[in-house]
């Protein structure tokens, strides 16, 4: 594999936009990435589009990537839609990384777009046709059980979980693209309406529309167009192993992906300047920091309690506000994490800037198979 770089990124405002189409959202993100890279759309040789719910909610079972990229004049090239649950966006990044790293192409675009509001009348999103989905084993219920297990096993408290939302809302208040920029207190989180005991609605990320894009290229192209390219030093993707009996407070899939990414990038957890972690629920950030070896097993609660994961802390987690403040437009989330990482590594993150950032880690996992995740991605970027 030859070295691969990101030279341009773009992102929409995240929020609920039932009146906006896939095309409009994707066009905004793609144009911003293209302008940021300083390239012509016709320079792009291959494209991958992360999207999960287009078919289920809008009957768009095919051609989402073509539909979106046509808006910016990208036609005639190989374009593929990528669906991999919450890891759809990172999987699109990985396909572009492989396409360029292999030497087959020099410039690729990875774009993620999702609409979760404004669905056709009478259409609803199902967890699945399995008995679990029908009988109510939803993501909220699953993460509530994980929270209970983590609290029982490690002494993690509800206050520590609430502080994850408080931290990420404070970060999101500094991010003009975040869906929710309001600052919450621990009491606000604890006293919000119950979602799935012990998690209130403020322990969960909101339903969101949005898009994000990244221009990915070879070293030769990066030198031509950019004075500050960001290297994709590692891009790992793993699937679950689906054991019938396992400890649901830990996730082997994420640890395996992280270990491979660290080895590929030639760094360790101690070298990470900040991380964008898939915090679909407050307990998810705590568990995943442990799974990614950003802290020791059982110490995710202490990490938030002691301020280690604050923007000014020893290891900032989710400086853009995470999914909790940004929202979670599924196909776009992982690419939005990469966009944030690029801005941070360039020193362009404004009020939420992590000072001296040199190495970033992004993580997404999702898709239930039994009680395990179906896919998990870890990407490491270097300045």
Domain count, the chain: 2
* pLDDT tens digits, one per residue of 333-379: 999 999 999 999 999 999 999 999 999 999 999 887 776 778 999 99
Beta-carbon count within 10 A of 302 CB: 16
Task: Note the pLDDT of residue 172.
Answer: 98
Same domain, 201 and 297: yes
Same domain, 101 and 158: no
- 243 within a domain of the structure (yes/no): yes
pLDDT under 50: residue ranges of the chain: 122-134
Residue 341, SS3 per DSSP: helix
Nearest to 91 by CA among 373, 329, 379, 327: 379
Task: Note the pLDDT of residue 240.
Answer: 86
- 90 within a domain of the structure (yes/no): yes
- 129 within a domain of the structure (yes/no): no
Same domain, 103 and 147: no
Same domain, 113 and 225: yes
The mean of the pLDDT values for the chain is: 93
Same domain, 261 and 216: no
- Whole-structure pTM value: 0.94
Same domain, 243 and 356: yes
Same domain, 110 and 141: no
Among residues 86, 205, 235, 295, the one annotated as catalytic is 86
Task: Note the pLDDT of residue 57.
Answer: 67
Same domain, 115 and 245: no
Among residues 203, 328, 363, 364, the one annotated as catalytic is 328
Q: Tell me, yes or no, if 86 is annotated catalytic.
A: yes
Last residue of a domain, one of 172, 196, 230: 230
- 127 within a domain of the structure (yes/no): no
- 113 within a domain of the structure (yes/no): yes
Full residue range of the structural domain in which residue 261 is found: 135-205+234-382
Largest interatomic CA distance in the chain: 56
- Cα four-point dihedral sign 206, 211, 217, 222: negative
Beta-carbon count within 10 A of 347 CB: 14
Instruction: Report the CATH number that the domain containing residue 176 is assigned in CATH.
Output: 3.40.47.10
Task: Note the pLDDT of residue 246.
Answer: 78
Same domain, 8 and 77: yes
- 258 within a domain of the structure (yes/no): yes
The Cα–Cα gap between 294 and 271 comes to 10
Task: Note the pLDDT of residue 44.
Answer: 98
Same domain, 16 and 85: yes
- 63 within a domain of the structure (yes/no): yes
- 319 within a domain of the structure (yes/no): yes
Q: What is the DSSP secondary-structure string of 246-262?
A: --TT--HHHHHHHHHHH
Same domain, 224 and 158: no
Same domain, 249 and 302: yes
């Amino acid at each position: 594999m030859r070295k691969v770089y990101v030279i341009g990124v773009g992102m929409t405002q995240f929020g609920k936009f039932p009146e906006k189409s896939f095309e409009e959202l994707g066009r905004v993100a793609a144009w911003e990435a293209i302008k940021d890279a300083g390239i012509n759309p016709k320079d792009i040789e291959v494209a991958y589009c992360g999207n999960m719910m287009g078919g289920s909610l809008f009957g768009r079972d095919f051609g989402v990537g073509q539909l979106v990229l046509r808006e910016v004049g990208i036609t005639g090239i190989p374009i593929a839609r990528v669906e991999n649950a919450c890891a759809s966006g990172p999987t699109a990044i990985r396909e572009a990384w492989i396409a360029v790293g292999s030497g087959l192409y020099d410039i690729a675009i990875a774009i993620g777009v999702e609409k979760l509001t404004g669905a056709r009348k009478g259409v609803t999103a199902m967890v699945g046709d399995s008995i679990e989905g029908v009988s109510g084993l939803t993501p909220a219920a699953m993460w509530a059980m994980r929270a209970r297990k983590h609290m029982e096993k490690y002494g993690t408290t509800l206050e520590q979980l609430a502080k994850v939302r408080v931290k990420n809302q404070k970060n999101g208040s500094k991010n003009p693209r975040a869906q929710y920029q309001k600052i919450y207190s621990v009491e606000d989180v604890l006293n919000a309406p119950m979602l799935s005991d012990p998690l209130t609605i403020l322990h969960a990320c909101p339903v969101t529309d949005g898009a994000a894009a990244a221009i990915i290229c070879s070293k030769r192209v990066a030198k031509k167009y950019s004075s500050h390219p960001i290297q994709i030093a590692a891009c790992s993707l793993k699937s679950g192993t689906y054991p019938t009996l396992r400890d649901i407070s830990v996730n082997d899939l994420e640890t395996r992906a992280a270990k491979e990414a660290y080895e590929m990038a030639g760094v360790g957890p101690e070298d990470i300047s900040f991380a964008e972690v898939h915090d679909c629920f407050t307990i998810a950030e705590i568990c995943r920091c442990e799974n990614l070896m950003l802290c020791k097993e059982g110490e995710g609660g202490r990490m938030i309690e002691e301020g280690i994961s604050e923007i000014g802390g020893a290891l900032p987690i989710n400086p853009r506000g995470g999914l909790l403040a940004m929202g979670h437009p599924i196909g776009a989330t992982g690419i939005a994490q990469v966009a944030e990482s690029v801005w941070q590594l360039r020193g362009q993150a404004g009020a939420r800037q992590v000072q001296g950032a040199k190495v970033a880690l992004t993580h997404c996992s999702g898709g239930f198979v039994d009680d395990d995740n179906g896919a998990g991605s870890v990407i490491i970027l270097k300045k």
